[in-house]
């Protein structure tokens, strides 16, 4: 172990020296790490640890009869993974997922990769066949270390029981520190059954990782770096902050808002950073990117100083890196990960460090030198862009428009509800038409774009925030992926609100097929499918399960749905031809943005279209 026992015996863990099974050691460390919920599905290879959960909860049951570490059992392991992810995203804490070996473990590959792609901290505890059986193709054996090593931040296969305690502690350290991510612990059944002495302290030696992390922690902004930054800001007339998910992951929202407010710098956020800037603030540009606001993308086109904070210039934002922010004379980049600096687009000022601290220090330096700069002309330009190029749609249509549904929910929730989504058109409509006053209110699968994310993520978020309104905005295609979790919501009495925008098909795929494949709906038209979503929800215990198919009923039904006191399900039959606009084709610049029929375009887009081989 890399850390020594406390010298002062009063600081020792009260259970230090106690003889425990490996499974009991795992659960005791979860308690020490302030884990409040485990999401998991049982099976033979993880039974000792599931039994340890039962015994721990039975022994430490609270006065109100509740378990200190409740176990939420899903319909399947993928659902459990997304519940843990939703819990982590909504709370900022490490989510915990516990599954058995073989298929139990392999069913978590998608949520683990999803968490890695979006920098979400979870710890995954997998059962494994006994050490002596590893590599023999034993019943329900899978090469978890080989599989997960490619998709997780780190993977531990424990073959030495004396290292179990230190390994579990280290897993939590790795998951939450630096750039957060998923860490997998593969624990053979005989290691879980082993008995040994609980030390109550210690972690594994990780000299390389801790050295790199310490270098980032110690890399403070120098006065020289601050001076160069403020020189760029002084020379700028149109500065713009481009905020990414790192702002939320780094708990740097307040620091970024204070800095932006101090100098009146407009803020555009990525899909993953919605809520980092209060979307109702006059200087908020909401979301930029492939389906970002037209006015946000035009502001990026116009800015002369781009300040990237916790953002990585990914392809959904900088589709054509060479033409992204073409008028920016200077680009500054803040990040915690040195690998992101200049990876996609060259920058001429950067700092790798702790975002919250660095932004506070940067503002303090500006106040110390009494920096002042007037950006009122830019503010007027921003206001003009927002007024002229705002979102819009066919408000006279006889069909229910998905945008109108979200606008009505947003009017009632005022940007204060937790919103989760699946992936597809409904995801983008939700990102565009909802307001987000604070961080951690928006939960979506960004980089991986995983259908089926929304419902289980909402369950995890509701567990983490029992007193908040949690709404899953889903699509008829996406919700099918994990629709079994409807029963999980009612089983645990979670008052989530689930809304399915039903356009009888995979809307985003169909939109692309219309644009680039001459309308050939190969595999995306589900108009012949027979799913009765309302009956499904009723069968899974939803007392409120309603279909909305008349436009005139929309306001009343939406209010009834939102105000229902328990789990509520609403299917809305929407216009199947509704599209997601604006849209920037893959590999294209914002100058070639398509705004559709109802959003005012600055210029007619060029005729360039991505070929059918391009990604979504």
Question: What are the catalytic residues?
Answer: 77, 139-140, 189, 508
Inter-axis angle of helices 425-433 and 507-516, nearest 10:
100
- Count the alpha carbons within 13 Å of 2 in the hemisphere toward its beta carbon: 11
CA distances from 266 to 118, 221, 334 (A): 24, 23, 17
Residue 322: which of 7, 589, 10 has the closest Cα? Answer: 589
Q: Which residues pair with 240 in a beta bridge?
A: 306
Dist CA 9 CA 15 (whole Å): 12
Do 148 and 302 touch, CB atoms closer than 8 A?
A: no
**Do 453 and 120 contact (CB within 8 A), yes or no?**
no
DSSP per-residue codes, 516-584: HSTT--TTTB-TT----HHHHHHHTT-SEEEEE--GGGHHHHHHHHHH-SS-EEEEEE--TT----SB-
**Residue 234 phi, psi (nearest 5):** -65, -35
The owner of tokens 């760029």 is 232
What is the residue whose two structure tokens read 């305690």?
A: 165
The closest of 484, 511, 105, 113 to 290, measured between CA atoms, is 511
Q: CA end-to-end span of the chain, whole Å?
A: 47
CB 592 within 8 A of CB 585: yes
CB atoms inside a 10 Å sphere around CB 516: 16
Residue 33, classed as helix, strand or coil, is coil
Rounded to 5 degrees, what are φ and ψ at 165? -60, -50
**Cα–Cα distances in angstroms (integers) from residue 589 to residues 289, 302, 341, in the given order:** 10, 13, 21
């Amino acid at each position: 172990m890399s850390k020594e026992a406390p010298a002062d015996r009063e600081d020792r863990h009260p259970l230090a020296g106690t003889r425990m099974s490996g499974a009991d050691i795992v659960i005791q460390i979860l308690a020490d790490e302030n884990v409040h919920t485990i999401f998991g599905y049982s099976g033979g290879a993880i039974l000792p640890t599931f039994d340890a959960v039962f015994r721990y909860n039975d022994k430490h049951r609270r006065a109100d009869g509740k378990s200190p570490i409740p176990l939420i059992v899903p319909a399947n392991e993928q659902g459990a993974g997304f519940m843990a992810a939703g819990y982590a995203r909504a709370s900022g804490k490490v989510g915990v997922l516990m599954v058995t070996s073989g298929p139990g473990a392999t069913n978590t590959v998608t949520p683990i990769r999803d968490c890695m792609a979006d920098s979400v901290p979870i710890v995954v505890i997998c059962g494994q066949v006994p050490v002596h059986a590893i590599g023999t193709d034993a019943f329900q054996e899978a090469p978890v270390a080989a599989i997960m090593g490619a998709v997780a931040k780190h993977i531990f296969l424990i073959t030495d029981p004396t290292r179990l305690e230190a390994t579990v502690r280290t897993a939590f350290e790795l998951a939450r520190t630096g750039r957060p991510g998923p860490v997998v612990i593969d624990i053979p059944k005989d290691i879980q059954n082993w008995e040994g002495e609980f030390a109550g302290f210690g972690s594994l030696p990780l000299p390389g990782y801790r050295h790199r992390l310490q270098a980032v922690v110690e890399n403070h902004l120098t006065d020289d770096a601050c001076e160069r930054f403020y020189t760029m800001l002084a020379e700028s007339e149109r500065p713009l902050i481009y905020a990414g998910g790192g702002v939320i992951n780094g708990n740097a929202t307040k620091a970024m808002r204070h800095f932006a407010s101090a100098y009146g710098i407009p803020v555009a956020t990525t899909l993953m950073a919605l809520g980092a800037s209060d979307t109702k603030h006059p200087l908020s540009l909401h979301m930029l990117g492939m389906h970002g606001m037209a006015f946000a993308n035009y502001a990026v086109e116009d800015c002369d100083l781009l300040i990237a904070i916790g953002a990585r210039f990914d392809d959904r934002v900088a589709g054509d890196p060479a033409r992204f922010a073409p008028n920016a004379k200077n680009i500054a980049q803040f990040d915690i990960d040195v690998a992101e600096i200049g990876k996609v687009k060259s920058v001429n000022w950067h700092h790798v460090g702790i975002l919250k601290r660095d932004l506070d220090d940067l503002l303090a330096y500006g106040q110390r030198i009494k920096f002042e700069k007037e950006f009122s002309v830019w503010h007027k330009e921003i206001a003009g862009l927002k007024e002229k190029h705002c979102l819009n749609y066919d408000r006279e249509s006889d069909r229910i428009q998905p945008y109108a549904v979200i606008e009505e929910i947003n009017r009632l929730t005022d940007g204060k509800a937790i919103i989760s989504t699946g992936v597809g058109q409904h995801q983008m409509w939700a990102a565009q038409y909802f307001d987000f006053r604070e961080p951690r209110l928006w939960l979506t699968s960004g980089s991986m774009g995983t259908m089926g994310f929304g419902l289980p993520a909402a369950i995890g978020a509701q567990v983490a925030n029992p007193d908040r309104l949690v709404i899953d905005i889903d699509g008829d295609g996406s919700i099918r992926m994990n629709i079994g979790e409807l029963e999980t919501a009612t089983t645990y009495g979670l008052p989530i609100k689930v809304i399915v925008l039903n356009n009888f098909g995979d809307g985003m795929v169909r939109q692309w097929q219309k644009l680039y494949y001459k309308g050939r709906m190969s595999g995306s038209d589900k108009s012949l499918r027979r799913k009765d979503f309302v009956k499904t929800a009723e069968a899974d215990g939803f007392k409120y399960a309603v279909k909305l198919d008349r436009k005139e009923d929309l306001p009343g039904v939406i209010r009834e749905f939102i105000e229902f006191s328990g789990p509520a399900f609403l299917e809305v039959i929407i216009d199947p031809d509704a599209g997601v606009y604006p849209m920037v084709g893959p590999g294209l610049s914002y100058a070639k943005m398509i705004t559709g029929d109802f959003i005012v375009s600055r210029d007619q887009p060029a005729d360039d279209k991505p070929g059918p081989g391009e990604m979504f």
